[in-house]
Amino acid sequence: MRTIGKEKRLDEFLKNLKEKPTKTTKKSILRVMEENDTHDSALIKGTIARTDNHTGMPHLDELTHHLIVVAMASLKFNSPETTLAALIHDYFKPMFDIRAGSWWHFITNPEFYSQLLEEFADYSSWKIYHLITGHHPCRPGNANKICQIESSGLISALETNVPFVKPETQDFIITHQFRVLGKYRMFLLALIKERLTKILSEEYSNKFQQVLGVKRIRYEYRPIDVKSSKIEEVGKQIIKEGWKIIIHNDTLIIPLPSKYHGSPFYFEYYEKPEIVIDFDEKAKVIRGIKIPFGKALSTVYLVGSRDAYIVYVDAGFESLHLQEIIEELLDYLRSLLSEKKRKTAFTGIELGKVVTSLAGEFKSDRACLFCGEPGEPITDEDSAKSILKNKFTDTWSFLSYEKAICPACKLGFEIEKNFRSGLVQYLIHEAIIEETKLPANIPIFKQQTFVKSISSKIWLELISDIYYSLHKEQDKMNKKNAWLAKFYLDPAVIVYPYSLRIIPQISLISPKSKQQKKFVLQSGLHSNVVFPGEEKDMTPDEFKKLRRFYLSNPDLGPYLLQEISRRNSPKSRGIYSPLFGIPKVEIGGGPRARKRKG
């Protein structure tokens, strides 16, 4: 490894890495690609959600995510029975009972549903039973509520850049449109999306509590010992073992029988803002994920270089107005400032104008000097002089008297001015599927291509988000650097029967700033990269080569992580110096060992 870091930088090494694997590489890849190894380093272990009615191809979505999306949309009907049915309408899909080319996933035994829903005696199990057994065949005119949701654009529409022109109520989605030319507008989009996600998590949780009396939903995949995969036999075994949906500490816990899960794995959807990864330190595997409702049920569509749409699931609560979201954002930002700054922060901002400007509806014959959108001249000469006196700008032309600026960029500038040390803002993008494996022989899943819906897009973003949440767990993982490396350098997800190697993606809009400067305007837009870097971004193509090299040399994993995360200093060269998403890794003994050469 003298070649890397001494004679050749890591990025140059990856650039010149030959595509043709050597004998050693081939042998190592075969070893690492064994089923158990892939399962051990999987970020999640779930089940593929559904197949498309027209093409027969699988939708790229995970079952529990699909169930939570349908259940959240069902809250619009304010019916506990409808929501309970939505939460379990595909209950037996993890058993993969395939008959005559169809994927059987519900049984017609009322006794089964009576036992599973025993804790919900106040609700009609008979109505729930009919909603579940009646959601197929899902044809036009079917009055079944679950069928209506699954036929909507939220679940079924195949994805294009914009899978809608205007949101329709039957699509169970709500949208906000933005004009995002210029860095300040992208910065505001990232801030608004982050704040909206937090608001939505609480609103969705409150709606669940209002309809079902619970705040969180937890799905637990459990192995079940049944010789036959016929779901009727599985249902009998579940009745025999006394499985029930229970409520514990405001959490609805739903056990799911699984044919392929060798050990339990859970997904919990909850009201807090952060993804939490539950590591089993003994087994060195991830045993569950906690996902905020807001992250699981919203997304951003970037359309060309001008427009963006924030899209989220309509659960029937009062629509969130953009002005209210921005007001809450500014209240939050004020709370981070000193008491002195708090009194004057954002006092000159007119929120009504900001909203119309972001929507591209602001009218003026003057062009904003930052984005070119319609703006208005600065009339407060004293304010402009004050900004220049504080040396926040490099040139007299920025925000000087009578220059035009649009209300959206003005707000972005004001936020930047008040937080000179920087605010880390980013947009998570869909993970790239680099490699698909199909280890199990299931008739209807012979294809390794997928279709995508709005729900699929959200799920792929969640995969990237889970990957970037790994660094929060580094204290648990640093005890075994090899363990850390396999999650970072060979990330995979399992959605039975598929095993997928993924490449995460992110766009860093604004970083932390070492100096008090314009951290939005003076930083590059790190768009659709794996690791946004201070010196150089790591691209998906570089990550692909890095993974291939790691698979042939797994013992070098900690060293490769160290090379990626190395910071620039007088004594060392940082090639990437990542600004986000990678842990600090140290190799070797104490201080003396680090001083020695080699």
User: Would the pLDDT of 383 be above 70?
Assistant: no
CA distances from residue 76 to 11, 254, 263, 446 in whole angstroms, order as listed: 51, 21, 35, 37
- Alpha helix stretches (DSSP H) within 299-446: 322-335, 339-344, 351-358, 381-389, 407-418
| pLDDT: which is higher, 564 or 249 | 249
User: Would the pLDDT of 37 be above 50?
Assistant: no
How far apart CA 241 and CA 220 sit, in angstroms, is 16
Predicted confidence band at 534 (pLDDT cuts at 50, 70, 90)? confident
How far apart CA 222 and CA 351 sit, in angstroms, is 50
Structure token digits, residue 142: 């079917």
* Contact between 348 and 380 (Cβ < 8 Å): yes
User: Would the pLDDT of 565 be above 80?
Assistant: no
How far apart CA 5 and CA 263 sit, in angstroms, is 41
Torsion angles phi and psi, residue 526, rounded to 5: -85, 95
Terminal CA-CA length for the chain: 10
Query: Model pTM greater than 0.85?
Result: yes
Q: What is the mean pLDDT of residues 561-572?
A: 67
Q: What is the mean pLDDT of residues 445-473?
A: 87
Residue carrying structure tokens 């708090």: 342
User: Would the pLDDT of 321 be above 60?
Assistant: yes
Q: What is the mean pLDDT of residues 489-495?
A: 94
| Tens of pLDDT, residues 260-276 | 999 999 999 999 999 99
| Tens of pLDDT, residues 73-90 | 999 999 999 999 999 999
| Tens of pLDDT, residues 94-124 | 999 988 788 988 898 889 999 999 999 889 8
| Tens of pLDDT, residues 138-184 | 766 678 899 888 888 788 765 544 444 444 445 788 888 899 988 99
pLDDT at residue 249 in the model: 94
DSSP track, 494-555: EEETEEEEEEEEEEEEEEE-SSSS-TTTTS--EEEESB-BSS-PBPHHHHHHHHHHHHH-GG
Structure token digits, residue 539: 């691209």
User: Would the pLDDT of 595 be above 50?
Assistant: no
| pLDDT: which is higher, 580 or 215 | 215
Q: What is the mean pLDDT of residues 569-578?
A: 61
User: Would the pLDDT of 563 be above 50?
Assistant: yes
How far apart CA 119 and CA 116 sit, in angstroms, is 8
Predicted confidence band at 297 (pLDDT cuts at 50, 70, 90)? very high
Q: Among 188-197, 306-315, 392-401, name the most confident range.
A: 188-197
User: Would the pLDDT of 54 be above 50?
Assistant: yes
How far apart CA 144 and CA 171 sit, in angstroms, is 15
Structural element, H or E, at residue 367: strand 366-367
pLDDT at residue 481 in the model: 56
* Contact between 231 and 104 (Cβ < 8 Å): yes
Q: Among 164-178, 346-360, 517-531, name the most confident range.
A: 346-360
pLDDT at residue 398 in the model: 60
pLDDT at residue 589 in the model: 39
Angle among Cα 93, 259, 293 to the nearest 5 degrees reads 50
Q: What is the mean pLDDT of residues 545-556?
A: 91
How far apart CA 456 and CA 452 sit, in angstroms, is 5
* Contact between 98 and 58 (Cβ < 8 Å): no
